[in-house]
Structure 1
Amino acid sequence: MSTTPDIRFPRSTSETGRVSPKYTRHGSGAKGGFEMAAWLFMRLSGIVLVVLIFGHLFVNLMLGNGVHAIDFGFVAGKWASPFWQWWDLAMLWLAMLHGTNGVRTIINDYADRDTVRFWLLIVLFAAAAAIVILGTLVIFTFNPCPTVNGVPLPGSFCPKP
């Protein structure tokens, strides 16, 4: 009597627990390809994201007055510098590409029907593209020294008229 459960591969249909041939994909070999590049990207982008996010948290929460100092002026002051614009852009792009690739992998693993998989991937890529495009526009078109009715709003980082 065996007390261990019967463990099979996901999507296995035979009694031996082997993966059904209809779920195997042909054409992927030892030479790598897109999936190998995606796997490597996940590892490298994860390392870079850790550095970017901890740097972001350190600057925003530890330096100055901490979380109480974060307001429009703080963000506008940071985004007045191209360094912080590019830092936040790298964080946005890497986080979105990293997350999209992870969800793409989950969809490919668990969406059985080709049409469902196709439409889920279309929705995923459209949402990711919209967020990346809008986020990039916000970062680079943000006006740190706005004027309302010809009167400049106060900010210590804005040049005096």
Structure 2
Amino acid sequence: MTAIAEPRAPHSAPRRRGPNLEKWGWLYMRISGLALVVLIFGHLFVNLMVGDGIHAIDFAFVAGKYTTPFWQWWDVLMLWLALIHGANGMRTIVNDYVTHGGTRRVLVWAIGLAAAFLILLGTLVVFTFDPCLGFDASTASETMIEICG
């Protein structure tokens, strides 16, 4: 009869006092996942089903959407939730499979820094987006002329 080997634990640190970050990370994954389903399907519905559907999506369509704070915040919320959700999932994988403590710390920090950088960059792009930069009325579509005047 063959015995099953005991599962390996990534690290066995004594239980610490304070907030249980793993519990909060687990809760965040569930709540953000539900919110992302609503945000993503709302995004897809508006972009693909309303109006002319996929044929209406071009630079002018995006520029028109980003003239309203509602769509800016919708897309930023989707960006923040998705990046933090993905980074938390990657952190969980690193914690499960990387056994060397120093390597694990470096990788978790790298994931956090990459997520923070992308969140900052994406937020700046959404809120500082200027569709009229380099606008040329002679070659612009009617929608762009309406947006940029």
TM-score clears 0.5? yes
Are the aligned partners of 2:135 and 2:148 in contact in 1 as well (CA < 8 Å)?
A: no
Determine which of 45, 50, 57 is the counterpart of 1:70: 57
Q: Structure 2 regions of 5+ residues with no counterpart?
A: none
What is the match of residue 14 of structure 1? none
Distance in structure 2 (CA, Å) of the matches to 1:129 and 1:54: 25
- What's the TM-score once normalised by structure 1's chain length? 0.80
What is the match of residue 131 of structure 1? 118
Distance in structure 2 (CA, Å) of the matches to 1:56 and 1:149: 29
Map 1:43-82 onto structure 2 (within 5 A).
Answer: 43-82=30-69
Determine which of 65, 85, 89 is the counterpart of 2:76: 89
Are the aligned partners of 1:100 and 1:124 in contact in 2 as well (CA < 8 Å)?
A: yes
What is the match of residue 115 of structure 1? 102
Question: Shift of residue 123 of structure 1?
Answer: 1.5
- What's the TM-score once normalised by structure 2's chain length? 0.86
Q: Structure 1 regions of 5+ residues with no counterpart?
A: 12-18
Are the aligned partners of 2:79 and 2:119 in contact in 1 as well (CA < 8 Å)?
A: yes
Residues 22-65 of structure 1 deviation map (CA, whole Å, 9 limit, x = unaligned): 83222257x86111111111110000000000000000111111
| Higher helix residue share | 2
AA in 1 matched with 2:15: G
Larger Rg: 1
Are the aligned partners of 1:145 and 1:152 in contact in 2 as well (CA < 8 Å)?
A: no
What is the match of residue 89 of structure 2? 102
How many equivalent residue pairs? Answer: 147
Q: What secondary structure does 1:24 align onto?
A: coil
Are the aligned partners of 1:145 and 1:153 in contact in 2 as well (CA < 8 Å)?
A: no
Identity across the alignment (%): 50
